[in-house]
Amino acid sequence: MHPIRPLFLALLLATGAAAAPGAVAAADVVVRTESGPVKVTEVARGLDTPWSLAFLPDGRMLVTERPGRMRIIAADGSLSAPIAGVPAVHARGQGGLLDVVLSPKFATDRTLFFSYAEPTAAGARTAVARARLDAAALRLEDVRVIFAQNEDPPGNHHWGSRLVFDAAGNLFVTLGDRSHSRDRAQVPGSHLGKIVRIRPDGSVPPDNPFLNKGGMLPQLWSLGHRNVQGAALHPQTGELWAHEHGPQGGDEVNRVLPGRNYGWPVITYGREYVVGTKIGEGTERADIEPPVLQWTPSIAPSGMAFYTGDAFPQWKGNLFVGALKYQLLARLVLDGDKVVHEERLLTELGRRIRDVRQGPDGRLWLLDESEGRILRLDPS
């Protein structure tokens, strides 16, 4: 596949902090795409390594910052003080405060769920907590951990960790392999390198694929993952789709089906860092679910959203994936469960796109990790 890169268009307003060498300032620029010009609007700035974005019913936004802070962003882009009540996080390397999602009943129960690297006596582990948000007092109440990985190896990499509610109100949690413990991704008694599915109280749904199977953890939905940092429900099928980081190559987009094995680290397109030698047995095996798409070299994907809005009707049904290393937004055109085309957007901005969300206004919203900004794509 040979992606078509967008053509550059003149910068309209050059504001904000200095960008990476050769990059264009991210605020209020127009970029050309295959579907026509699109405006990139800066909505907020001043965040410290933003990781996840959620939209509150009143039009404000909730944002996590990896060092361990959660803030509310007003419609005018102003940042609140940090919300009190966030538990201590292991803010080292790739760890810290990670994803946040609202309860499907947030309008009445004010409940949210967030994932983070939870410090332990031995090291740290990916955990998920639920809490009630008092937005007026900027405080989390009744904070309770509802899930935590059953292993807490040392190290500061590969935590996951995206949260997605399915149509039945169950919660998918993506869990990294913690890098040096990658072989545990194939061990059914370990939470490392897995996707799990739990109820909002942390209990196990009765239709989970590994429930009551000897030696299998009941929360497991799928296994053989490396570091899943993007996940979303397919708008037509309701199936979970996810992408994950490969090592040197082998980033994957997967249709995550119950009980399936996605191969890591036995079957992968990736290769070892530095030496570039082969990992595992090869790139395919009959009992391993193949990826819908793989990127080699690695783009370092993060954040993901299916587009269903009306602001960009030409993009309806497309899948959008942010990229850290390649500093772009990938637009994937689907035909059923196949990717038939890729367009790479925003390459001229030089921004590490950490999260991708469709807002209630039908526009695409992005977290720019490079300079701590919230960006919005608007029709031009």
Catalytically active residues are 158
> What length does the chain have?
380
- Tokens 């944002």 locate to 63
CB 167 within 8 A of CB 207: no
Other Cβ atoms less than 10 A from the Cβ of 302: the count is: 25
Question: How would you write the chain as a 3-class SS string?
Answer: CCCECCCCCCCCCCCCCCCCCCCCCCCCEEEEECCEEEEEEEEECCCCCEEEEEECCCCCEEEEECCCEEEEECCCCCECCCCECCCCCCCCCCCCEEEEEECCCHHHHCEEEEEEEEECCCCEEEEEEEEEEECCCCEEEEEEEEEECCCCCCCCCCCCCCEEECCCCCEEEECCCCCCCHHHHHCCCCCCCEEEEECCCCCCCCCCCCCCCCCCCCCEEEECCCCEEEEEECCCCCCEEEEECCCECCEEEEEECCCCECCCCCECCCECCCCCCECCCECCCCCCCCCCEEECCCCCEEEEEECCCCCCHHHCCCEEEEECCCCEEEEEEEECCEEEEEEEECHHHCCCEEEEEECCCCCEEEEECCCCEEEEEEEC
Q: What are the residues whose beta carbons fall under 8 Å from the beta carbon of 114, sequence distance 6 or more?
A: 52, 64, 70, 86, 97, 98, 99, 100, 101, 128, 129, 131, 163
- Computed on alpha carbons and rounded to an integer, the radius of gyration of the chain in Å comes to 20
Residue 109 amino acid letter = D
